[in-house]
Amino acid sequence: MAESKSVVMAALIANGAIAILKFVGFLLTGSAAMLSETYHSISDTGNQVFLLIGLRYGGREADRRHPFGYGKAQFFYAFLVSVFLFGIAGWESAKHGFNALMGHGGGHGGGEAVEFLWLSFQPPGFDPILVNYTVLLLGIAFESWAFKKAYAGMKTQIEDNDWSGMREAFRKTSDVTTLTALTEDTIALLGLGLALAGVFLEQQTGDPIYDAIAALLIGIMLMGFAVALAWENKRLILGESLPADEERKLRAVVEDRAEVERIVDFRTVYFGPERIVVSTDVEFAPGFQGGDLDAIITEIEDEMKATNKSVRTVYLEPEI
């Protein structure tokens, strides 16, 4: 949890600073891509606040109303982040880019109002393109720092769980806070790259259509990532079991015991990041009962927890 919190705090500081830089850049240049990136960073900053709330709320101890703890709160708040990433950052960015694109083609994109706004903030004799480059390059520097923190957190999980790489981690991790921060940082860097390309092409050609296209692509990219993130959080909110290969390892702990005749039922479920509950009904071989059986059950539970450190609770019911 401490590592997840440091990842989110790094992203919060970076996104807050970048949002301010981008908005100042928009006021000084009137760039559609810069405004789209401002929406993106404002949304990201708010999202980090939601993730921090989820971390704090999800860390509460179990009580009578929530006997398995509040860990699923992190899944809920991470899901909210994906919705806001889609609705605010993605949709608003795409809409603004589309309007700017239509305005370029002679439609009504609200260009006159934007032009009046940014011209009023421009000091005499100043080159707007330098502001765009400065803001975007500083944004890349800030975001790279946050990305490095999030990537290190996810890499630690990959090594601890012996996963093959990021793709497997994205499918299997229950630490949605670090996953969300890493996803946001990744698309933030991609968005900054698109915005930089749009500004560069506009400078080289003198055609503002490239800036508008960059803004539209940023919005579409954000909405696509938001949908993927929402899907990953949905599986955990609904109470997904462990991946099949991880569950087989826990089943093997029971099946490999000489005292076990067969497994009648075996279930696992996530009740929070790295909080797994295992429930199993086991038929033991004849001759094991009473104190012997209690000792065997305790050994099996301890071995499961040693096999997977995320296993917090085991309910093993002997069947007659």
- Reading the block at residue 204, the tokens are 């080289």
pLDDT surpasses 90 at 287:
no
Using the 3D structure, point to which of 185, 212, 238 is the last residue of a domain: 238
Distances (CA, A) of 185 to 25, 45, 190, 267, 284: 20, 11, 9, 35, 51
Q: What is the pLDDT of residues 226-282, one digit of tens each?
A: 888 888 888 888 888 988 888 999 999 999 998 899 999 999 999 888 889 999 999
**pTM to 2 decimals?**
0.73
Q: Within this chain, do residues 82 and 201 fall inside the same structural domain, yes or no? A: yes
Q: Within this chain, do residues 264 and 135 fall inside the same structural domain, yes or no? A: no
Q: Within this chain, do residues 54 and 123 fall inside the same structural domain, yes or no? A: yes
Q: What is the pLDDT of residues 191-205, one digit of tens each?
A: 889 888 988 888 888
Q: Within this chain, do residues 188 and 309 fall inside the same structural domain, yes or no? A: no
CATH number, residue 299: 3.30.70.1350
Q: What is the pLDDT of residues 34-57, one digit of tens each?
A: 777 787 788 788 888 888 998 888
Q: State the residue range of the domain holding 286.
A: 244-318
Q: Within this chain, do residues 208 and 189 fall inside the same structural domain, yes or no? A: yes
Using the 3D structure, point to which of 220, 238, 256 is the last residue of a domain: 238
Using the 3D structure, point to which of 211, 238, 265 is the last residue of a domain: 238
- Reading the block at residue 17, the tokens are 């600073």
Q: Within this chain, do residues 10 and 28 fall inside the same structural domain, yes or no? A: yes
Q: What is the mean pLDDT of the chain?
A: 83
CATH number, residue 104: 1.20.1510
Q: What is the number of structural domains in the chain?
A: 2
